[in-house]
Amino acid sequence: MRKASRLLLAISLVSIFLLSACSQKEDTINIGAATYTETKIMAAVYKELIEDRTDIQVDITPDLLSTSLILKALDRGDLDMSLMYSGMIYNNFFPVKVTTNREEVLSQAKKGFDKYYDMKWFDPLGFENTYALTVREDIAEQRGLEKISDLKKSEKNMKFGVDSSWMERPTDGYPAFKKAYGVTFERTYPMDVNLVYEAAASKKMDVVLAYSTDPRLIQYKLKTLKDDKRFFPPYDASILARNDTLKKHPELKGIINTLSGKINEKTMTNLNYQVDIKHRSERDVAREYLVQQGLLDKEKEES
């Protein structure tokens, strides 16, 4: 009799486990992340938020090689949501009007992905990852450099280190930049974009073209000059999610919107710094950020 009871108990436990597994599978969503760090940090941030506030299990698929690959996976339903950037609308995903006006680019992203892909483009998180002209902090202080237009008074005696491909790009590259700002550096040095940061820090270059949330800006004490003529296309970060996922889990909208407008470039650069330079895990950095913002209990962060 005792053996039979034990057998029934074992069967019940297995059944509960199987039912739990099936239920868990039905309530699982997948967040995609590209190869660069901030997309993986934000995936970890939303995983923590969603699992803390709902019964949904969140899986993360990291290191996806391109925006096109992520969008295809979203379109197939292999992914449910991912971090994206507004300037990606110029990658021929649907018809667009070319402009550098931030509001117009955002509006086109929202309308286009809803119409052509049945996906929701959420309000921006508050930071963008785009090209940025940067100088060492000591040079900025010595020459009074705050915005790109300020370079006009120093262009002739400054060495410009720049991503090789940018030199030839017709619409948002060096030829168009010279027309927009009237700034022409007499000494330009095309190089791999990963070399520009150290080149500036070691004083081999005075001005370099970098990425606006790259942690090496902090590591090498580089100052980003304000794009006062709005030359570079906006690449505001937003979450893109499938409408059918949001319909199935309507609570996700509120959770995703929790961070809208809350993460500026300085914050994102610091988060990237913690992972890339301090070699901490995306999960730990994400949890720490959420605790600091009062969005996650410290006890849960430590568990």
Q: Calculate the alpha carbon distances from 246 to 122, 243, 283 in Å.
A: 12, 5, 24
State the pTM of this model.
0.84
Q: Would you say residue 25 has pLDDT above 70?
A: no
Q: Which of 269, 272, 258, 283 is nearest to 125 (CA)?
A: 258
Q: pLDDT tens digit string along 254-274? A: 999 999 999 999 999 999 999
Higher pLDDT, 25 or 62: 62
Rounded CA separation 287/293 (Å): 10
Q: Are strands 159-163 and 187-191 parallel, antiparallel or unpaired?
A: parallel
Sheet of strand 81-85: strand arrangement: 57-64, 28-34, 81-85, 237-242, 119-121
Q: Which of 113, 50, 47, 3 is nearest to 286 (CA)?
A: 47
Q: pLDDT tens digit string along 31-57? A: 999 998 999 999 999 999 999 999 999
Q: Calculate the alpha carbon distances from 287 to 49, 126, 133, 255 in Å.
A: 9, 19, 32, 15
Q: Would you say residue 177 has pLDDT above 50?
A: yes
Q: pLDDT tens digit string along 60-113? A: 999 998 999 999 999 999 999 999 999 999 888 999 998 889 999 999 999 999
Mean of pLDDT values over 265-290? 97
Show the domains of the chain with their CATH numbers.
28-129+235-293 (3.40.190.10), 131-224 (3.40.190.120)
Residue 212 and residue 129 in contact, taking contact as beta carbons nearer than 8 Å: yes
